[in-house]
Amino acid sequence: MFTAGAIVLANIFVTFPLAFGVIKPVFDTMSRSLEEASATIGATRWQTFWHVTLPSLRGAIVSGALLTFARAVGEFGSTILVSGNLAGRTQTAPLYIFAKFNEGQIEAANAIAIVLALFSFLIFSVLFFARDWLDVD
């Protein structure tokens, strides 16, 4: 508790379902014939995973990672629960906004909130414009 590691674990726990929800449908619709063909030409399971399965999931993995990261950057509830909001040690941007708002420093809170909003816009723009490369609809 009250460490950066605790924040990372809490965010993984909270955001993993988002990534899983993006990756699993793609995995379920993948053609098994490619993996079977790989096995028939003598590829090991690891080689099949590395050269067939993983490239097929590339777009879903990148999309899931970006969505998870965007969600984790703005996570408040689980972060404050495990971090204690220690300034300079475990204070994330949403916790900083919360602290500044409670201190009456609305301008500082608004400035960081705008930066977070622009950062989120950037991530979702990348997802939108790279959707053809990512093969995600």
pLDDT by 10s per residue, the chain, length 137:
778 888 889 888 999 998 999 899 988 998 889 888 998 999 899 999 999 899 888 888 888 888 888 888 888 888 888 887 777 777 888 889 999 999 999 999 999 999 999 988 888 888 788 777 666 54
Determine the Cα–Cα distance for residues 81 and 75; give it in Å rounded to an integer.
11
Q: Give the per-residue pLDDT at 135.
A: 61
Domains and CATH numbers, the chain: 4-134 (1.10.3720.10)
